[in-house]
Structure 1
Amino acid sequence: MRRKSLIDLIKTVSLGIAIGAAIMLQPMRAHAADIRTTIVAGGCFWCVEADFEPVEGIIDVVSGFAGGNVANPSYRAVVAGGTGHLEVVQITYDAEILPYDRLLHLFLRAIDPTDAQGQFCDRGPSYASAIFVENATERAAARTALDRAAAALGRPVVTALRDAAPFYPAEAYHQDYYLSDEIILTRFGPRRKSVAYTMYRDACGRDDRLRALWGAETPFAK
């Protein structure tokens, strides 16, 4: 009897552990992450980074450069011209939460896709808008997103569809610029980077243009 009672106790404890483990694993099985990366160019990478980092499903956004012919370019070299690179962000996201087509829908409403000369107050080839695609499936999704944006605006869009290209992160100085408390010298005197970013964005007229272009369809105008 004693031995049987001990065996029954062991079975009961083992069953309890198994049930507990199953309960703990249930949320993990309910959401199998589909982690992907994509690269988009929307003018000032500080702004695109600031817009997308809070979006549900976004894991990380890194400012950088892509599309050119110079390896590991500096920010100064890119904005000076001649490298062929665009200011871009590399977005890592969970496609189970934020599908690719939804990400592109949001991206096109965070920029002016009708501007072929740059974005907002930033002019020149390095500030052109683009979507970099990895394969035929992404290209088809991007083409559909661009067509829908054109239909919504009632005018042509010029955001380029480009093949995937190597991504080069920008200097640490540029990452999470909009969040930084680091003090820098601006034309208005010493300011935290986060404050300087807000001043730049306001002066650049980015949000005014987004509201004028997209109205309530833009989720990013401050």
Structure 2
Amino acid sequence: MSELLEKATFAGGCFWCMVKPFDQWDGVYAVVSGYTGGEIENPTYELVKTGESGHFEAVEITYDPKIISYDKILELYWPQIDPTDDGGQFHDRGPQYRTAIFYHNKQQKQKSESSKQQLSHSGKFKQPIVTEILPASPFYPAEEFHQDFYKKEKEAYDIDRNKSGRDEFIEQNWK
């Protein structure tokens, strides 16, 4: 493992569904569910789920750029979301479930903007791409219950994911 690990932070709706797509790649050392983008320090799930704290549910990915590039992580991110929905994601509605890429440096900002522009011009979606690209702000890990939910609570995760509509959207729009 390189001593020069980097962070990538993404909001894509419910953080439960955003861990697994990144968790299983070589070079990814941690995918933490949490909250970012709001003004309140150390928010709780109960506060964030109201949609009034300004936070996004997000994942913070710790990765080794010598093994997996930020470009590859961006390639993994986009097909997990509906980038045209500014009211949440799938059955999770509200500002806390909006999509966003939080960049940690100028290079990530440039790559994120470029990938968004490529998607916008691809013709894949008729509606505008509304995923925001924002500077990274303090990231607060969610409560332990929410970490690795897809592993610890497989049945509940599968039920929630199946009823969300996410997989149908991915199949129809990204495959």
Structure 1 residue 162, shift from structure 2 partner:
0.6
What SS does structure 2 have at the residue aligned with 1:132?
A: strand
Superposition map of 1:91-130 within 5 A: 91-130=61-100
Q: Name structure 1 gaps, 5 residues minimum.
A: 1-30, 181-192, 216-222
What SS does structure 2 have at the residue aligned with 1:62?
A: strand
Superposition map of 1:68-87 within 5 A: 68-87=38-57
Q: Structure 1 segments of 4 or more deviating over 2 A?
A: 31-34
Asked whether the equivalents of residues 42 and 88 of structure 1 are also in contact (C-alpha less than 8 Å), the reply is yes
Superposition map of 1:115-154 within 5 A: 115-152=85-122, 153-154=124-125
1:54 to 5, 14, 24: 24
Asked whether the equivalents of residues 33 and 95 of structure 1 are also in contact (C-alpha less than 8 Å), the reply is no
Deviation per CA, 1:111-168, whole angstroms, max 9, x where unpaired?
1111111111111100000001122221111001111222331442110011110000
Aligned equivalent of 2:60: 90
d(CA) in 1 for partners of 2:138, 2:2: 28
Aligned equivalent of 2:169: 209
TM-score, normalization by structure 2: 0.94
d(CA) in 2 for partners of 1:104, 1:68: 23
**1:195 is aligned to 2:155:** yes
Aligned equivalent of 1:171: 143
Deviation per CA, 1:5-26, whole angstroms, max 9, x where unpaired?
xxxxxxxxxxxxxxxxxxxxxx
> Structure 1 residues 166-175 or 52-61, which shifts more?
52-61
TM-score, normalization by structure 1: 0.75
Asked whether the equivalents of residues 33 and 96 of structure 1 are also in contact (C-alpha less than 8 Å), the reply is no
Larger radius of gyration: 1
- Length, aligned pairs only: 173
Q: CA RMSD in A?
A: 1.4
1:160 to 129, 132, 136: 132
Deviation per CA, 1:31-58, whole angstroms, max 9, x where unpaired?
8564111111010101101221012221
Sequence identity percentage: 41
Q: Name structure 2 gaps, 5 residues minimum.
A: none
The 1:32–1:135 alpha-carbon spacing in structure 2 relative to 1, beyond 3 Å, is closer
Q: Which has the higher helix share?
A: 1
Structure 1 residue 66, shift from structure 2 partner:
0.1
